[in-house]
A and B are shown apart, each in its own frame.
Chain A
Amino acid sequence: MDERVKTDMGGLAATLDFDAELMLRVKQGDGASFAILLEKHRLPVIHFLYRMVQNQAVAEELAQEVFLRVYRSRESYVPTAKFTTWLFRIATHLALNSLRDGKNRRLEDRLDDDSSDTPVRQVSDQRPTAEQNMVYQARLDEVRRAVAMLPEKQRAAVLMHKYEEMEYSQIAKVLNCSESAIKSLLFRAYETLRARLAHMA
């Protein structure tokens, strides 16, 4: 489906992404369009926040705040950028604030905690043995720890680049940096991760 539609805004033809078009409908009072946006972006936003703060409950709480802000900003919404750029700018801002405020538990507590945050592996035909589970958990903890140790901005950039498959230009807009600064930021971040995770290959 072509996600770009042409919309006439105040006489000026602007090319908007489909999400921005939906958001303009929300602005006009269309609640169904908000439900579509929520359905489409709920998981990416929660997953991004979860990997940022590494706590599922905090991630969901922050995601609620993200969508609440989207809804409350509907009347002043102006589609100056891609909708996802705006959405992830809100999410990143909240995540960074949360990390700085220390709202979520300390990393060590989280990693030692045997909580429900750990994803349940879907195994179709073979159950993993206890040993395989332990290996998986150990690897997962190592990945989480390596990502958590990155500086916050590098972490956000890596998560958007790796999991959201965002372009450098979009990450730059989300983090309010130049594109060259983001490329350099990502290069340094991956360099750190290579040093910590390369042995896992």
Chain B
Amino acid sequence: MNCPMESGGNSEHLLDYAAGRLKPGARAQMQEHVAACPVCREFAGGQRAVWQALDAWEPAAVSMDFDRRLYARIERHVSWWTRLTRPLNPLFRHAVPVVAAAGVVITAGLLLNRPAAVPAAPEHSAQVEVLQPEQVEHALDDMEMLRELNHLVPGNAAPRM
């Protein structure tokens, strides 16, 4: 294989080799080259030392309340509308189906109990005539006269007791 240090373009293979990240085939090839190439051997040795030094750098423990603080900050960024309506959410969750069902029932009831349609009045309907008192008087007189005539007819005479 070409020397990674000389070709330049493959220097990352040497970094990966020192880090133990090469795949088995490539690692064996690199191992063979490093054994024969003093420049690459020195490079790989120095790189391993860096790797080990960096391994010693352990991070500090994370605060126990990290998540709590984060969620508190998230909460502060929630919109005022969401915060305002949140306590009502369970209520809405339960009330919405009930209100919807009630709405359906009321609508159905209104549709079923709708008064029968009144047929539209014909354009030229019979109009009630306004009776004058004289007409009524005449009608009553006529009726009286008919009753009297009725008595005069023998077959129609009322039986005497």
On A, residues with C-beta under 8 Å from B are 38, 42-43, 46-47, 50-51, 56, 60, 63-64, 67-68, 71-72, 116-121, 136, 139-140, 142-144, 146-147, 162-163, 165, 168, 183, 186-187, 190, 193-194, 197-201
- Give the residues in chain A near B48, CB-CB below 8 Å: 201
Give the complex CA separation of A140 and B61 in angstroms: 16
Besides A50-B59, A68-B70, A187-B11, 10 new A-B residue pairs in contact (Cβ under 8 A), listed by A number: A64-B69, A67-B70, A71-B77, A147-B54, A162-B54, A186-B12, A190-B15, A197-B54, A198-B45, A200-B52
Taking a contact as CB atoms closer than 8 A, the residue among B49, B59, B63, B70 that contacts A51 in the complex is: B59
Q: Which of A56, A67, A187, A198 contacts B60 (CB 8 A)?
A: A56
Q: Which of B19, B53, B59, B66 contacts A119 (CB 8 A)?
A: B59
Number of A-B residue pairs, CB cutoff 8 Å, is 97
Q: Which chain B residue lies CB-closest to A122?
A: B58
CB distance from A2 to the nearest CB of B (A): 20
B37-90 CB contacts (< 8 Å) to partner A:
43, 45-54, 56-63, 66-67, 69-70, 73-74, 77
CA distance A116 to B59 in the complex (A): 11
In the complex the two chains form, what is the Cα distance from A187 to B56 in whole Å?
Answer: 21
A51 to B74, CA, bound (A): 25
User: In the complex, A72→B54 CA distance in Å?
Assistant: 34
18 pairs of residues in contact across A and B, judged by CB atoms under 8 Å? A42-B62, A68-B73, A119-B58, A120-B61, A121-B58, A139-B56, A140-B57, A143-B53, A147-B54, A183-B11, A190-B47, A194-B47, A194-B50, A198-B49, A200-B53, A201-B49, A201-B52, A201-B53
B residues neighboring A (CB under 8 Å): 11-12, 15, 19, 21, 43, 45-54, 56-63, 66-67, 69-70, 73-74, 77
Contact B77–A72 (Cβ < 8 Å)? yes
When the two chains form their complex, are residues A143 and B66 in contact, meaning their CB atoms are under 8 A apart? no
- When the two chains form their complex, are residues A64 and B46 in contact, meaning their CB atoms are under 8 A apart? no
**B58 near A38 (CB under 8 angstroms)?**
no
Please indicate the chain B residues that have their CB under 8 angstroms from the CB of A147 in the complex. Answer: 54, 57
CB-CB < 8 A to B63: which residues of A?
A: 60
**CB nearest neighbor in A for B49:** A201
Cα A67 to Cα B77 in complex, Å, equals 13
Q: Which of B49, B54, B61, B74 has the most CB of A within 10 A?
A: B54
Residues of B close to A120: CB separation below 8 A:
61
Q: A136 vs B55: C-alpha distance in the bound complex, in angstroms?
A: 12
